[in-house]
Structure 1
Amino acid sequence: MNQHSYISDSIELLKSMIDIQSFSREEKDVADFIEQFLKIRGLSPRRKGNNIWVISKHYSQDKPTVLLNSHIDTVRPSSGWTYSPTRSTIESDRIYGLGSNDAGASVVSLLALFRILEEEEQPCNFIFSATAEEEISGDGGVASILDELSPVDLGVVGEPTRMQMAVAEKGLMVLDGEVMGKSGHAARNEGINAIYQALSVIDWFKNFEFSKKSDFLGDVKMTVTGIEAGSQHNVVPDSCKFMVDIRVNEHYQNRELFELIQQQVSCELTARSFRLNSSFIPVDHPLVKRGEELGLEKYGSPTTSDQARMPFPTIKIGPGDSARSHTPNEYIIVSEIIEGVQIYKGLLEGLHINSK
């Protein structure tokens, strides 16, 4: 098959994927379909759970390895759809349907690229993976197969970025806090009001600035997004609970940041997870330099993806626009997929990188 045929084949795959419901943790049917699609085309997919991957037939332990990854799960459709979210609809150059933009277009574009690169041996090994549970940062997604792969030296994460290079991505950490007081009758001057005690803590989260700033991601951003206290109007509350959404730049690991916060705040804090760390690839990396030669822009992404689960350098890039994700009448433009494959090819064909 020629390059055009691989792209056309992948576009047909995308239409079929849209027609198969694949909410997070419910990806079995679409994973079954993709597995069969790959086998019919002479590839040798491997599978764990609802994750599918293919290793290059030219694989050699003497070469560095590049992972081409995107996700097959979708969020549940929001209200406001005028098309059927789980049936592909084609109008002019647009394919409408849930997951078309986020991230089905990246899945099929990376697959087309993988098949193109398989035509000739490359300086790098390539592994294509279509993985589950990205939308919920689940442990049954890409993180569950990394030990199954050879040591990976570079990851290309397919997400809708208008084919610009996200060279950094904010991490996410959610904290639950509790400030204690002492209950008493509201009509009398007794008790210690936990809400009042919490005001200074909440004010600290609102105004504190960490010293390390990022050229691409800016400051660490902390936002108090929930508060719970009190049970009835005449009782001084003895507990005030709150939660904080923290978006972390690449200069801090989540656990490190948590310890710094604990030193500053005098209340009980619990992190829900430390696993979604910020991602970053050096701007002098050969892949980034090649992207610059192609005229691609570098930027920092505020959203979290499977990059957070990958302990090796990664770049996030893919066809489509993040602004369309999780919205009614989500769509991808066919020409964006074609352009995406061409740019991926320009980035990765003949690429030389160092092994770990």
Structure 2
Amino acid sequence: MANTETLFQDAVELLKQLITTQSFSREEVQTADIIDAFLKARGIPTNRKMNNIWAYNQHFDAAKPTILLNSHHDTVKPNTGYTRNPFEPTVEDGKLYGLGSNDAGGSLISLISTFLYFYNKPNLKYNLCLATTAEEEISGINGLESIIPELGKLDFGIVGEPTLMQLAIAEKGLMVLDCTTYGKSGHAAREEGDNAIYKAMSDIEWFRTYKFPKESEIFGPIKMSVTIINAGSQHNVVPATCTFTVDVRVTDAYRNEEVLELIKQHVSCEVKARSIRLKPSSIDKNHPIVQSGLKLGRTTYGSPTTSDQSLLDIPSLKIGPGDSARSHSSDEFIYVDEIREGIELYIKLLEEIV
């Protein structure tokens, strides 16, 4: 559709427009409008559900496998450390400043540019489905998850997040557990009651020390951390209940459901998972898209941060321009050259296989 230099120039202008437009999670109507208009101006039919926009390559063939190209256009709120206007895109010393420039604006516009590059090419081995989605920063239900049933059969995905264009071939899942231990209240001065705090202590110690039988080749063991505890109402009453919260970072060695079941078998407290939808994800090192990246001199690693990968039930690779360390930071920025490199590498990554 266009040469890479034109794609790059248009991408930077699009990112500046997105930075100018507030798009906190659940408030992405205007950035969805901008992306929709950007694609339609280039003759691309789009689909929309709430603040999610998606499109397919011109020569889509249902008989062929489909690659998902996904990134998000929502942002967190700027923190109090900003010294610049977070909604004013400025370029200084090769850096494009602005909220969402790094997470995940650079990846988003680079994937859009890559989609444009392949859009009208005939005889591709794969279809391409571009999905620009909302609510990633809050793992919301009205983002990618809400449109997956409508995207059709997907064979694997590229999820755009800042990884310095290295290959994140696995990502930890997340479960937050609310645990309750039940005892019996009584007067603290007498031998009355059954102290729920004491009962909770053995379970908390189990969470601190337990090692799951299987370990991830990439991440090692699952990590469980007790992060909140509440019990008691006054000094002279033995507490009847003790509640505590456990943060569980699940690796690709297990499914969330398996980990939850194992935990319930080992502890005496009541365990309720707030959600099991943020799944660990991985893609085989021998997968063609990973092999393509390795040929380009990229390296593989496991990502400790969660993204929309956690909502996908297909193999997926997380890769994008920018640096995860800059995400959610004050005076967020991305190097303009990182965007250029991102577009070029995404294209080369796919050219090897499509």
TM-score (norm 2): 0.97
Q: Secondary structure at the match of 2:275?
A: coil
Aligned length: 352
Task: Determine if the alignment matches structure 1 residue 149 to structure 2 residue 151.
Answer: yes
Shift of 1:150: 2.3
Q: Which residue of structure 2 aligns with residue 258 of structure 1?
A: 260
Q: Which residue of structure 2 aligns with residue 65 of structure 1?
A: 66
Kindly indicate whether the alpha-carbon contact (under 8 Å) linking 2:115 and 2:128 is maintained by their aligned counterparts in 1. yes
Alpha-carbon distance in structure 2 between the residues aligned to 1:216 and 1:344? 24
Q: Which residue of structure 2 aligns with residue 293 of structure 1?
A: 295
Q: Supply the AA of the counterpart residue of 1:30.
A: T
Structure 1 residue runs without a partner (length 5+) = none
Q: Supply the AA of the counterpart residue of 2:27.
A: E
Task: Determine if the alignment matches structure 1 residue 103 to structure 2 residue 81.
Answer: no
Shift of 1:123: 1.5
Q: Which residue of structure 1 aligns with residue 179 of structure 2?
A: 177
Q: Secondary structure at the match of 2:174?
A: strand
Kindly indicate whether the alpha-carbon contact (under 8 Å) linking 1:47 and 1:53 is maintained by their aligned counterparts in 2. yes
Taking the TM superposition and a 5 Å limit, the aligned residue runs for 1:331-346 are 331-346=333-348
Task: Determine if the alignment matches structure 1 residue 6 to structure 2 residue 7.
Answer: yes
Kindly indicate whether the alpha-carbon contact (under 8 Å) linking 1:117 and 1:349 is maintained by their aligned counterparts in 2. no
Alpha-carbon distance in structure 1 between the residues aligned to 2:168 and 2:3? 30
Taking the TM superposition and a 5 Å limit, the aligned residue runs for 1:86-165 are 86-121=87-122, 122-165=124-167
Comparing 103-112 and 39-48, the one that deviates more: 39-48
Q: Which residue of structure 2 aligns with residue 191 of structure 1?
A: 193
Kindly indicate whether the alpha-carbon contact (under 8 Å) linking 2:212 and 2:222 is maintained by their aligned counterparts in 1. yes
Q: Secondary structure at the match of 2:268?
A: coil
TM-score (norm 1): 0.97
Shift of 1:34: 1.2
Which of the numbers 221, 227, 230 marks the counterpart of 1:228?
230
Shift of 1:321: 0.5
Shift of 1:247: 0.4
Shift of 1:191: 1.6
Shift of 1:215: 1.5
Comparing 145-154 and 205-214, the one that deviates more: 145-154
- Offset from partner CA, 1:7-39 (integer Å, 9 cap, x none): 110110000001111011110011111111111
Q: Supply the AA of the counterpart residue of 1:28.
A: V
Kindly indicate whether the alpha-carbon contact (under 8 Å) linking 2:58 and 2:120 is maintained by their aligned counterparts in 1. no
Alpha-carbon distance in structure 1 between the residues aligned to 2:84 and 2:125? 44
Taking the TM superposition and a 5 Å limit, the aligned residue runs for 1:38-57 are 38-57=39-58
Shift of 1:63: 1.4
Shift of 1:290: 1.2
- Offset from partner CA, 1:75-122 (integer Å, 9 cap, x none): 111110001112212212111111110001111000111111125232
Q: Which residue of structure 1 aligns with residue 251 of structure 2?
A: 249
Comparing 324-333 and 179-188, the one that deviates more: 179-188
Task: Determine if the alignment matches structure 1 residue 77 to structure 2 residue 75.
Answer: no
Shift of 1:218: 1.4
Shift of 1:233: 1.3
Kindly indicate whether the alpha-carbon contact (under 8 Å) linking 1:83 and 1:89 is maintained by their aligned counterparts in 2. no
Alpha-carbon distance in structure 2 between the residues aligned to 1:316 and 1:43? 25
Structure 2 residue runs without a partner (length 5+) = none
- Offset from partner CA, 1:163-206 (integer Å, 9 cap, x none): 00010000001100001111111222322211111111101000
Q: Supply the AA of the counterpart residue of 2:132.
A: A
Kindly indicate whether the alpha-carbon contact (under 8 Å) linking 1:103 and 1:160 is maintained by their aligned counterparts in 2. yes
Q: Secondary structure at the match of 1:145?
A: helix
Q: Which residue of structure 1 aligns with residue 34 of structure 2?
A: 33
Q: Which residue of structure 2 aligns with residue 304 of structure 1?
A: 306
Q: Secondary structure at the match of 2:191?
A: coil
Alpha-carbon distance in structure 2 between the residues aligned to 1:203 and 1:176? 16
Q: Secondary structure at the match of 2:234?
A: coil
Shift of 1:243: 0.5
- Offset from partner CA, 1:261-301 (integer Å, 9 cap, x none): 10000111101111111001111101111111111111111
Alpha-carbon distance in structure 2 between the residues aligned to 1:13 and 1:279? 30
Q: Supply the AA of the counterpart residue of 2:231.
A: A
Alpha-carbon distance in structure 2 between the residues aligned to 1:19 and 1:100? 10
Q: Secondary structure at the match of 1:106?
A: helix
Q: Supply the AA of the counterpart residue of 1:204.
A: W
Q: Supply the AA of the counterpart residue of 1:149.
A: L
Shift of 1:350: 4.4
Q: Secondary structure at the match of 1:200?
A: helix
Kindly indicate whether the alpha-carbon contact (under 8 Å) linking 1:123 and 1:350 is maintained by their aligned counterparts in 2. no
What RMSD, in angstroms, separates the aligned Cα atoms of the two structures?
Answer: 1.0
